[in-house]
């Protein structure tokens, strides 16, 4: 059967994100009266194709990539370019992951069209435009934009949408196989290592003790752990502590480049409150800030501010919690 043209094309390097994009894609497809095609590529392309079919994709582009060496985003650019050529989509959805943002930008530039980054809502408007909402100025403002022209490219905020549910009936799903010959990359991958991960899912934590640049030494995180244990919470951190120095595993990072959390109580210790971080704590019920700089933006984003030295306040907080526990 011929590949359906002019529909919605979904691409992500991350299988979980593909599931989320299918949710968005099926919604948009319903509004636009078109189907959703998922690009299944990578070593597990077959599994991805099956997964996409089960989650309600109307079509799958099953990619056989012939690559000379292990390849990174340059191969993804080539695969996506070929997928677009084959499917001639009206709308292209990618995940707003680090890789997804780069990939969308590169492909959109090749085609000569704009692209909306990190969208939190998407719909097809009456004129067939793609209307999106995005966070700007560090999440202080939401902008509503409309993309016109063809194709319309958008990256979708990860974890904003649930994965499309498995339908598991015999819905028809066109599988089109394409072979993409990948060129020799210009940027060579020398080595890859997984960053340390923790066993803790901070997005599910009820209490979070967050550490920032105000923490002077890695040993001082013990104090944070102690407080977290007393409050039955977890320790997380801002980007400086999870990247600049690797004092905390990267999956404990809160913010634009990390996780969005929604605890009942969030205590920011030595965090200045840069926009990068604040975006990730908006859904917290109560925010407490401990920072010795009265001008730190975190105080504007807190319910209760303590303008003081965290090396005095945190031990006092630990002592108070210990007293309560022994009573």
Among positions 246-285, residues that touch other proteins (CB under 8 A) are 250-251, 256-257, 264-265, 273-276, 282, 285
Torsion angles phi and psi, residue 250, rounded to 5: -65, -25
Q: How far is the CB of 68 from other proteins (least distance, A)?
A: 16
Choice from 116, 224, 254, 269 touching other proteins (CB under 8 A): 116
Lay out the site mask for other proteins across 187-206 (x = CB under 8 A, - = otherwise): xxxxxxxxx-x---------
Judged by CB under 8 A, does residue 142 bind other proteins? Answer: yes
Closest to other proteins by CB, 26 vs 253, is 253
Choice from 2, 85, 144, 219 touching other proteins (CB under 8 A): 144
Q: How far is the CB of 114 from other proteins (least distance, A)?
A: 4
Report the distance separating Cα 229 and Cα 213, nearest Å.
Answer: 21
Judged by CB under 8 A, does residue 1 bind other proteins? Answer: no
Choice from 104, 202, 210, 221 touching other proteins (CB under 8 A): 104
DSSP three-state, residue 325:
helix
Judged by CB under 8 A, does residue 184 bind other proteins? Answer: no
Task: List Cβ neighbours of 50 (8 Å cut-off, separation of 6 or more).
Answer: none
- Residue list 53-82, contact with other proteins (CB under 8 A): 72-73
Closest to other proteins by CB, 41 vs 117, is 117
Where residue 137 falls (left for φ over 0; alpha for ψ -120 to 50; beta otherwise) is left
The CB density around residue 228, as the number of other CB atoms within 10 Å, is 22
Q: How far is the CB of 170 from other proteins (least distance, A)?
A: 35
Report the distance separating Cα 91 and Cα 66, nearest Å.
Answer: 27
Judged by CB under 8 A, does residue 33 bind other proteins? Answer: no
Judged by CB under 8 A, does residue 120 bind other proteins? Answer: no
- DSSP annotation string for 162-185: PPPPP--S----EEEEEEEEPPPP
Q: How far is the CB of 189 from other proteins (least distance, A)?
A: 6
- CA proximity to 266, closest of 282, 243, 247: 282
Task: List Cβ neighbours of 108 (8 Å cut-off, separation of 6 or more).
Answer: 114, 115, 153
């Amino acid at each position: 059967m011929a590949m359906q043209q002019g529909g919605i094309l979904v691409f992500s390097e991350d299988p979980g994100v593909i599931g989320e994009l299918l949710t968005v894609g099926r919604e948009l497809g319903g509004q636009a009266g078109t189907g959703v095609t998922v690009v299944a590529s990578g070593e597990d392309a077959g599994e991805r194709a099956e997964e996409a079919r089960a989650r309600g994709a109307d079509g799958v582009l099953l990619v056989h990539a012939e690559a000379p060496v292990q390849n990174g985003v340059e191969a993804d650019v080539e695969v996506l370019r070929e997928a677009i050529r084959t499917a001639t989509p009206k709308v292209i959805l990618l995940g707003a992951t680090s890789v997804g943002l780069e990939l969308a930008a590169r492909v959109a530039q090749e085609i000569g069209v704009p692209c909306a980054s990190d969208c939190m809502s998407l719909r097809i408007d009456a004129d067939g435009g793609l209307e999106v909402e995005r966070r700007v100025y560090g999440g202080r403002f939401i902008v509503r934009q409309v993309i016109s022209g063809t194709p319309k490219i958008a990256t979708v905020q990860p974890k904003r949408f649930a994965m499309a549910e498995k339908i598991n009936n015999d819905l028809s799903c066109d599988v089109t196989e394409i072979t993409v010959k990948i060129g020799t990359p210009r940027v060579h991958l020398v080595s890859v290592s997984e960053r340390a991960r923790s066993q803790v899912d901070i997005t599910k934590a009820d209490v979070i003790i967050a550490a920032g640049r105000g923490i002077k030494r890695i040993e001082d995180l013990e104090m944070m752990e102690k407080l977290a244990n007393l409050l039955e919470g977890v320790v997380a951190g801002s980007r400086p502590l999870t990247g600049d120095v690797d004092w905390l595993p990267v999956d404990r990072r809160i913010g634009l480049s990390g996780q969005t959390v929604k605890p009942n109580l969030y205590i920011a210790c030595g965090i200045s409150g840069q926009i990068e971080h604040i975006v990730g704590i908006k859904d917290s019920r109560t925010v407490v800030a401990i920072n010795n700089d009265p001008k730190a933006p975190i105080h504007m984003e807190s319910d209760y501010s303590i303008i003081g030295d965290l090396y005095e306040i945190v031990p006092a907080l630990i002592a108070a919690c210990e007293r309560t526990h022994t009573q």
